[in-house]
């Protein structure tokens, strides 16, 4: 049951002061290397609006342009609300600035962050919960969202985030190369539904390209290794439970199985053994490989390349459909004295942005609003509609205060795994390093 009102969640709860100190800790802290960044403030077209709100977000480049277009359209449709966007650098600088503003009593009326970071912020009181009854008055209800996204946003019975999208780690592929390799069916790639079948398909793609079958840029990139590991681990049906002060509850055998299997196909035939992120993008964009694991945010890069691009959720090689990702979400940074008009405007703005999320899909992200993804207009979008099911099988970083997008913990995952995948060292040893890192983090409170 979700409570509509406010309240402090129970259990382990660092103070707001502790959260702030954690945000400002040095680069070696598990909580992440957070550093302040400057910001640029823009004023929306509704300069005469009766109510103005400030929204902070982290979208730049192509995403930023689309997001601003959505904001502009929302304001044009409701000129009574003016939206002043503040754009900050993605990652550590953004989260530092936002947590400082919240703790210091200067928080914006509305902000965007990653869903996987929310659990680490709730105990410190730097966010206010959403009133689900007020959301419903604006047409935003639980049944609009994939359960995996909504459930992650609910902590201790309260809703702390409203999902805008799911951005997934998916498999892009070149339809022409896949067809020549004999693995293209009427509804996409075929034969990838087992560990053995996936490897055979990769070899067939390699025979066709004459170079390698699949691109996966992971070297030196803990985020990319996390995406692969936790997505495949979830497919085995195993779970992760991370309780502060306790040992990590994981299925070591499942982690070893996944780590060993990925190691087996990083062989310079099925997939390039030593590839960083830019190289993987370039190899797929130029047709040197027939498929590429990457985030759906690379869609626009591939659409402008000379490849016949299509895409699918993470292939289900271990039995249970699961695709790793994260979600951009709207949050209410804590307000000491809530202005009812501004708070009402924040709710109205989020509802309007969700209705505009067909436009958001242009950047590759899967809209969280299922009214959009189930629409005829969205179904006509290819390849976006071909991987939209990933939102219904979404899995995330294990939930803890030290995990999530942009966290330093993803680097720790990379340090544990890269030796096994790049240098073919022991998968068992890699998994034990990973479990050790989890256990150490669980014994560590946010830096004080």
Question: For 135-159, what is the mean pLDDT?
Answer: 97
Give the per-residue pLDDT at 445: 79
Assess whether the previous peptide bond of 246 is cis (omega < 30° from 0). Answer: no
Question: For 88-101, what is the mean pLDDT?
Answer: 85
Residue 259 and residue 144 in one domain: no
Ramachandran angles phi, psi of 210, nearest 5°: 75, 10
Strands 323-326 vs 394-395: parallel, antiparallel or unpaired:
parallel
Question: For 326-330, what is the mean pLDDT?
Answer: 98
49: Cβ contacts below 8 Å, ≥ 6 apart: 75, 79, 80, 81, 82
**Predicted confidence band at 119 (pLDDT cuts at 50, 70, 90)?**
very high
Which residue stretches of 287-367 are H helix? 299-303, 340-355, 357-360
Give the per-residue pLDDT at 47: 54
Give the per-residue pLDDT at 406: 81
Q: Would you call 53 exposed, middle or buried from its count of C-beta atoms within 10 A (0-12, 13-18, 19+)?
A: buried
Which residue stretches of 24-82 are H helix? 61-77
Q: Is residue 11 part of a domain?
A: no
Question: For 134-149, what is the mean pLDDT?
Answer: 98
Give the per-residue pLDDT at 408: 86
Give the per-residue pLDDT at 446: 64
Give the per-residue pLDDT at 426: 98
Residue 104 and residue 178 in one domain: no
Q: Which two tokens stand for residue 333?
A: 């940074």
Q: Do residues 276 and 220 lie in contact, with contact meaning Cβ atoms separated by under 8 Å? A: yes
Q: Is residue 403 part of a domain?
A: no
Q: Is residue 420 part of a domain?
A: yes
Q: Determine which of 114-128, 133-147, 211-225, 280-294 has the lowest per-residue pLDDT on average.
A: 114-128
Give the per-residue pLDDT at 86: 94
Question: For 201-215, what is the mean pLDDT?
Answer: 98
Give the per-residue pLDDT at 262: 98
Give the per-residue pLDDT at 94: 86
Q: Is residue 59 part of a domain?
A: yes
Render pLDDT for 411-439 as a digit per residue (tens, 0 to 9). 999 999 999 999 999 999 999 999 999 99
pLDDT(90) > 90: no
pTM for the model stands at 0.88
| Euclidean distance between CA atoms 83 and 72, whole angstroms | 9
Q: Which two tokens stand for residue 223?
A: 């985020």
**Predicted confidence band at 259 (pLDDT cuts at 50, 70, 90)?**
very high
**Predicted confidence band at 124 (pLDDT cuts at 50, 70, 90)?**
confident
| Euclidean distance between CA atoms 313 and 395, whole angstroms | 12
CATH no. for residue 186? 3.40.190.10
Phi/psi-derived region of residue 318, left when phi > 0, alpha when psi is between -120 and 50, beta in every other case: alpha
| Euclidean distance between CA atoms 203 and 417, whole angstroms | 24
3-state secondary structure of 397: coil
272: Cβ contacts below 8 Å, ≥ 6 apart: 212, 214, 215, 216, 266, 279, 280, 283, 289
Give the per-residue pLDDT at 407: 85
Q: Which two tokens stand for residue 204?
A: 């067939």
pLDDT(230) > 70: yes
**Predicted confidence band at 234 (pLDDT cuts at 50, 70, 90)?**
very high
Q: Determine which of 8-12, 96-100, 142-146, 375-379 has the lowest per-residue pLDDT on average.
A: 8-12
**Predicted confidence band at 27 (pLDDT cuts at 50, 70, 90)?**
very low
pLDDT(6) > 70: no
Residue 431 and residue 344 in one domain: no
Q: Determine which of 61-75, 261-275, 377-391 has the lowest per-residue pLDDT on average.
A: 61-75
Q: Is residue 370 part of a domain?
A: yes
Residue 298 and residue 432 in one domain: yes
Residue 134 and residue 250 in one domain: no
Residue 179 and residue 314 in one domain: yes
pLDDT(286) > 50: yes
3-state secondary structure of 448: coil
Find residue 56's DSSP bridge partners. Answer: 86, 111
Token pair 């103005």 is at which residue?
Answer: 52
Give the per-residue pLDDT at 49: 76
Taking all residues of the chain, what is their mean pLDDT, rounded to a whole number? 89
Phi/psi-derived region of residue 237, left when phi > 0, alpha when psi is between -120 and 50, beta in every other case: left
Residue 208 and residue 174 in one domain: yes
Residue 273 and residue 354 in one domain: no
| Structural element, H or E, at residue 207 | helix 195-209
E-strand spans in 297-391?
A: 309-312, 323-326, 328-333, 366-367
Among residues 221, 288, 286, 227, the alpha carbon closest in space to that of 422 is found at 221
Residue 133 and residue 37 in one domain: yes
What is the full DSSP assignment across 79-131?
A: TTEEEEEEEE-TTHHHHHHHHHHHHTT---SEEEEEHHHHHHHGGGT-EEPB-
Give the per-residue pLDDT at 276: 97
Residue 39 and residue 124 in one domain: yes
| Euclidean distance between CA atoms 161 and 155, whole angstroms | 10
Q: Which two tokens stand for residue 126?
A: 């730097």
pLDDT(41) > 90: no
Q: Is residue 448 part of a domain?
A: no
Give the per-residue pLDDT at 79: 92
| Euclidean distance between CA atoms 312 and 389, whole angstroms | 9
Indicate the number of domains in the chain: 2
| Euclidean distance between CA atoms 24 and 27, whole angstroms | 9
Q: Is residue 10 part of a domain?
A: no
| Euclidean distance between CA atoms 279 and 307, whole angstroms | 16
Give the per-residue pLDDT at 48: 64
Q: Determine which of 219-233, 286-300, 398-412 has the lowest per-residue pLDDT on average.
A: 398-412
Domain containing residue 149: 16-164+327-395
| Euclidean distance between CA atoms 357 and 165, whole angstroms | 8
**Predicted confidence band at 96 (pLDDT cuts at 50, 70, 90)?**
confident
């Amino acid at each position: 049951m979700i409570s509509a009102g406010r309240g402090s969640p129970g259990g382990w709860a660092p103070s707001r002061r502790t959260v702030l100190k954690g945000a400002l800790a040095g680069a070696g802290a598990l909580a992440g290397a957070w550093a302040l960044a400057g910001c640029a403030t823009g004023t929306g077209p509704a300069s005469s609006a009766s109510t103005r709100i400030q929204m902070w977000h982290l979208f730049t480049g192509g995403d930023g342009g689309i997001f601003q277009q959505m904001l502009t359209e929302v304001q044009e449709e409701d000129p009574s609300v003016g939206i002043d966007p503040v754009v900050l650098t993605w990652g550590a600088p953004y989260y530092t600035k936002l947590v400082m503003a919240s703790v210091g009593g200067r928080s914006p009326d509305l902000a965007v962050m990653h869903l996987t970071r929310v659990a680490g912020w709730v105990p410190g009181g730097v966010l206010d919960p959403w009133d689900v009854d007020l959301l419903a008055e604006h047409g935003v209800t639980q049944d609009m969202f994939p359960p995996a996204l909504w459930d992650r946003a609910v902590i201790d019975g309260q809703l702390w985030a409203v999902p805008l999208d799911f951005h997934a780690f998916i498999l892009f592929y070149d339809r022409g190369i896949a067809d020549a390799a004999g693995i293209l069916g009427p509804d996409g790639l075929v034969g990838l539904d087992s560990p053995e079948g996936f490897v055979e398909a990769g070899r067939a793609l390699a025979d066709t390209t004459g170079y390698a079958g699949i691109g996966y840029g992971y070297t030196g990139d803990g985020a990319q290794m996390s995406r692969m590991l936790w997505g495949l681990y979830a497919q085995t049906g195993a779970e992760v439970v991370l309780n502060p002060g306790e040992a990590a509850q994981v299925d070591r055998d499942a982690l070893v199985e996944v780590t060993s299997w990925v190691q087996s196909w990083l062989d310079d035939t099925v997939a390039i053994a030593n590839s960083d992120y830019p190289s993987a993008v370039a190899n797929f964009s130029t047709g040197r490989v027939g498929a590429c694991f990457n985030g759906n945010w690379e869609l626009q890069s591939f659409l402008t390349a000379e490849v016949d691009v299509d895409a699918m959720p993470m292939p289900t090689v271990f039995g249970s459909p699961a695709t790793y990702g994260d979600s951009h979400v709207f949050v209410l940074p804590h307000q000491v004295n809530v202005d009812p008009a501004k708070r009402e405007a924040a709710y109205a703005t989020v509802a309007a942005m969700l209705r505009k999320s067909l436009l958001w899909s242009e950047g590759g992200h899967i809209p969280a609003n299922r009214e959009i993804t189930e629409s005829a207009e969205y179904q006509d979008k290819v390849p976006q509609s071909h991987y939209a099911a990933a939102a219904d099988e979404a899995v995330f970083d294990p939930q803890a205060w030290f995990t999530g997008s942009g966290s330093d913990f993803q680097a720790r995952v990379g340090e544990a795994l890269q030796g096994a995948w790049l240098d073919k060292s022991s998968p068992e040893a890699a998994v034990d390093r990973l479990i050790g890192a989890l256990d150490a983090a669980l014994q560590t409170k946010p830096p004080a």
